[in-house]
Structures are given as C-alpha cells and as structure tokens.
Structure 1
Amino acid sequence: MKELIPTITEIVKYGLQPNLTIADKEKLLERNLVKFYSLYFDIEYKFDEVEFKDFDKSKLPDIRKNVESNFKEYGIYKSVFDLNKLDNLEESSIGDAIDDLTDIISDLLEIKWRIENNSFADGLWFFELTFTNHTQQHILNLLNYMKQKNG
C-alpha cells in the first residue's frame, strides 16, 4: 500500500489546481485511475475501534471548477442502465465525465485525509467502503468515456 498516497496525489491534483499544463495529462490520469483501482484488491487492515473526527469537505476548493479547467473537452455521455437486459434497448442514462472525476477526487481526498489525520486503518476502511459503493462505478464510467472519446 505504499503506492496509495502517491497515486491519490497524482489524481487529486486535477481537482485542486486549475489549468495544469502536463504532457499526456489524460494518459497519466488513466494510468493512475487504473493503479488506484488495482490497489483496492490489496486492502488489509484491522478496524480501529476509535471514534475519529469527520472530514470537512467545506474546506476544499471548487473541485469541479478545477476539473473543468483541466479537462475542457470532457462532457456528458450516454450509458445503459442494465447491460444484461438485451431485449430492452430504450433504457439509458446520461453521465458526466466532469462529475465522475469530481466525485472520484472528493472520495480520494477523504481517504488521504483519514490516513493522514486519523489512522492508516481508518483510511483503508473508508477506501473499502466508498470504493464499492461509489468510487468504483465513477472510475469505470470515466475510463469507458475516455476510451470511447479517444477511439
């Protein structure tokens, strides 16, 4: 898990800083999203029986605005509700790549904050909890959007 914080740092910079000029920015983002995704399979911790303080999202910058400035070409996309319902061709939804990355960054910032301010175990607990319930789907949607956009 020594790669967790550096990987998070590489992803969250797009939501913390506007107008970054980085060569191959999208490829680097994709690489780090996949790396973060793979770290999920290595989560091991002993649950802390401690009442920790909560993360205060109100102190964060406007993540969405920064993401928009760093990925100006990102936008909305169409996705299917249930891939297994082959006979239903009408049910689809609209997604937003900017929203996906914004939510991913928010989740990662909380993981990092919990590790740095509460405990490593608390951060891993939150990683496991939020990944399966929220972050994982945003990562999959964003990676699929990136693939479809770039052909």
Structure 2
Amino acid sequence: MEELLSTIDEIVKFGLFPKLKDENKNELLEKNLIKIYSLYFEVNYNFDENNYEEFDIKKFPNIRQNVESNFENFGFYKMLLDINDFENKIENTLGDAVDDLLDIIKDLLEVKWRIENNSLDDGIWFFKFIFKSHTQQHILDLLNYIKQKEE
C-alpha cells in the first residue's frame, strides 16, 4: 500500500503546490501516471460496509491554479468522438490537459483521504471504482497529449 500512497503523493503535489522546481516534470508525471495505472491491476480489497464521512474537495481550492503554474505549456487538444467510426472524418471534440490532470488529482486525493480517514478497504474500493469509471480515461488522454507534445 505504501507504493500506492507514495505514487499518489508524486502526482497530487502538482495540484497542491504552485511552481514546483522539479526538473523534467512531464517525465516525472508520465512515469507516475503509468505507475498508478499499473497499480489498479495489482490492488485488491474486501468490501467495507461501514458508512463514513464524505470527502470534501473544497478543502483544496487552488488545485487548478497550481496545476497551471506547474504545467504552463498544457492546453487544449483535439480528440475524435468515436475512434471506431471510420466513416466520420469531421466530428471531433476538444480535450484539456489541465482539466485531465485536475480530475486525476481530485480522484487520487479522495483515494488517499479514504485510506487515511475511513479504511484501507474503503480507499481501495474507491480507487478501483473511480479509476475504471473516470480516472483511467483522463490518464490515457493526458499520456497521449504528453506524447504528442514531445513530437
């Protein structure tokens, strides 16, 4: 579990602290996003039926500003609405790398909070749930954005 929490810390710091001086921020972020992705397949839990207090994201009001200060070159990107629709060559949408990282950080902050304040099983259950339904797509989109930006 230490690896999960330390990896979460490596990602969420970009939303908790402004203008971090880490060298190779993109590479560090990319490495830890891949690690989180991999950990999803390795962690297991027993369902915790207890009712707990809810996480309050409002305790972290400056995440977007901090992400923007740490990744000033992040911006919008073009996405296909349906990669399997080969006939449709015009329907696209916009993605936002800042918003991707913002959502990833918010999800991971809640995972960590649940582990530390509720129970390990509650935190892992939430990680498994939120990853598959939300975080995973943001990670894939952000990794693709970072890769495309390098070229």
- Normalised to the residue count of structure 1, the TM-score between the two structures is 0.98
Measure, in 2, the Cα distance between the counterparts of 1:31 and 1:67.
17
Paired with 1:22 and 1:48, the residues of 2 have a C-alpha distance of: 38
| 8 Å Cα contact 1:16-1:61 kept in structure 2 | no
- C-alpha displacement of 1:140: 0.4
Q: Give deviations 1:24-53, integer Å, cap 9, x for gaps.
A: 111000000000000010121100110011
Q: Unpaired segments of 5 or more residues in structure 2? A: none
Amino acid at match of 2:16: L
Partner residue in 1 for 2:63: 63
What displacement does 1:91 show?
A: 1.2
- What are the ranges of 5 or more consecutive residues in structure 1 without an aligned counterpart? none
Matched positions, count: 151
Write out aligned runs for 1:73-92 (5 A): 73-92=73-92
Q: CA RMSD in A?
A: 0.7
Amino acid at match of 2:11: I
Distance 2:112 2:139 in 1: 17
Q: How does 1:1-151 map to 2 (within 5 A)?
A: 1-151=1-151
Q: Deviations over 1:52-85 (max 9, x none)?
A: 1100111113101000000000000000011111
Q: Percent identity at matched positions? A: 59
CA shift digits 1:115-148 (9 cap, x unpaired): 0000000001100111111100000000000000
Shift of 1:2: 3.0
